[in-house]
Amino acid sequence: MKKILLLATGGTIASRETAHGLRPALSGEDMRTAIGAADAAIEVIDLLSLDSTNIAPSHWQMIARRVADVRTDYDGFIITHGTDTMAYTAAALYYMLENIDRPVVITGAQRPLGRDGSDAEQNLRLAYEAACSGFAGVCVAFGGRFIHGNAAKKMYSLADDAFRSIGRAEVDLSAPSAPSAPFRLHDALDERVAVIRLYPGMKPITIDAHIASGYRGIILEGYGCGSVPGDDAEESFLPSLDRARTRACTVVLTTQCIYDGADLSHYEVGVRAAQLGALAGGSLPIEALYARLMQRLAETPEGETVKSLK
Ligand SMILES: NC(=O)C[C@H](N)C(=O)O
């Protein structure tokens, strides 16, 4: 019999209607009952009871440490979580639970458990299927899909099939996986990271203002392949990127496009930025880039920039 640990953190799946709208109220025990699996021993911990809007990096660390502490006591883990920041938490756990050798599955719902037509039970059973499988790693189970933890993105605010896998194929549960290196809890994060979205007319001083405020990392959501305005623009971003480098602030250029990722070698405006030390976000969605850069910065000495997000 498989032994599963369910960690409840809140979200719509656990919510009840109040005079001020939905708010988490249900327990992990309610989730366990909904899974209704007779062939597994599911233990439950009520870790948090938060709308995922209120989840912060310290909560990612709390979840990761909890899983790491009891990793070998269970065959798999289910984390119930709000959908709005689920992709961020999934990415953070993906990188923090490095080489985890069993399934860590995050799920939630668009409508509360117990409400007519709710997707909650279906998603809980999907998560249970993944948690009992031979998959090794962190994934999101939602709307009939299994998505690697560093590839999930919420694409619809309300639809059941809300998530898509960005930049890599969905998880194939029929192909058991095994990590090639020992497990490591990699939970240090440097929160001095800002995500900035580029728009026509944006002033490059925005970058300098963040550097002056003490940010060690900036993820700039540029256009197309990750481009930012260069020498032909009214106001070039290149001098600000140069200042970022000399002041040991790591700049990652990614794209506002959902698919195909950022590749700075494609256009002159990207090549010039890369020459000034900007890293390309590649095919990682912004949620994964954010968690990864925080983690990379935590292991990079103060006064140095991150050399790679790999
Ligand atoms: N569907 C949901 O779970 C949305 C909710 N606001 C949350 O993220 O907690």
pLDDT per residue as tens digits for the range 138-152: 999 999 999 999 999
> Which residue has a Cα nearest atom 7 of ligand 1?
82
Task: Give the number of the atom of ligand 1 that is nearest the alpha carbon of residue 108.
Answer: 3
Q: What are the extents of the domains in the chain?
A: 3-185, 193-299
Predicted pLDDT at 39:
65
Selecting among 12, 85, 107, 305, the annotated active-site residue is 12
Residues lining ligand 1, CB < 6 A?
A: 11-12, 51-53, 82-84, 108, 110
DSSP 183-212: -EE-------EEEEE--TT--THHHHHHHH
Domains 3-185 and 193-299 share a fold: yes
Dist. CA 271 → ligand 1 center (Å): 39
Q: Which of 71, 129, 73 is nearest to 105 (CA)?
A: 129
* ipTM score: 0.97
Cα angle 210, 150, 180 (rounded to 5 degrees) comes to: 120
Looking at residue 248, the DSSP 8-state letter turns out to be T
Q: Which tokens in the block code for residue 175?
A: 């192909």
Q: Which tokens in the block code for residue 12?
A: 């719509």
How far is residue 309's CA from residue 291's CA, in Å, rounded to a whole number?
10
Percent of the chain with pLDDT over 70: 99
How confident is residue 247, by pLDDT bands cut at 50, 70 and 90? very high
How far is residue 161's CA from residue 174's CA, in Å, rounded to a whole number?
21
How far is residue 198's CA from residue 65's CA, in Å, rounded to a whole number?
35
C-alpha distances in angstroms, 170 versus 123, 167, 190, 235? Answer: 16, 10, 29, 41
> Which residue has a Cα nearest atom 1 of ligand 1?
110
Task: Give the number of the atom of ligand 1 that is nearest the alpha carbon of residue 109.
Answer: 1
Task: Give the number of the atom of ligand 1 that is nearest the alpha carbon of residue 11.
Answer: 9
Dist. CA 51 → ligand 1 center (Å): 6
* pLDDT digit string, tens, across residues 8-67: 999 999 999 999 999 999 999 999 999 987 667 999 999 999 999 999 999 999 999 999
Dist. CA 12 → ligand 1 center (Å): 5
Task: Give the number of the atom of ligand 1 that is nearest the alpha carbon of residue 24.
Answer: 9
**pLDDT over threshold 90, residue 176:** no
Cβ proximity of 236 and 202 under 8 Å: no
Dist. CA 86 → ligand 1 center (Å): 8
Q: Which of 216, 185, 224 is nearest to 293 (CA)?
A: 216
Task: Write down the CATH superfamily of domain 3-185.
Answer: L-asparaginase, N-terminal domain (3.40.50.1170)
Q: Which of 205, 221, 201 is nearest to 213 (CA)?
A: 205
The residues near 18 (Cβ < 8 Å, ≥ 6 apart) are none
How far is residue 96's CA from residue 17's CA, in Å, rounded to a whole number?
34
Q: Average pLDDT, whole number, for the chain?
A: 96
Predicted pLDDT at 147:
98
Helix 86-96, helix 286-298: angle, nearest 10: 40
- Whole-structure pTM over 0.90, yes or no? yes
33 is catalytic: no
The CATH-assigned architecture of domain 193-299 is 3-Layer(aba) Sandwich (3.40)
The residues near 63 (Cβ < 8 Å, ≥ 6 apart) are 7, 9, 47, 79, 89, 93
* pLDDT digit string, tens, across residues 113-129: 999 999 999 999 999 99
Dist. CA 100 → ligand 1 center (Å): 27
Selecting among 83, 107, 254, 255, the annotated active-site residue is 83
Q: Which of 277, 263, 275, 283 is nearest to 306 (CA)?
A: 277
User: What's the burial of 62, exposed, middle or buried (CB within 10 Å: 0-12/13-18/19+)?
Assistant: middle
Q: Is 52 annotated as a binding residue?
A: yes
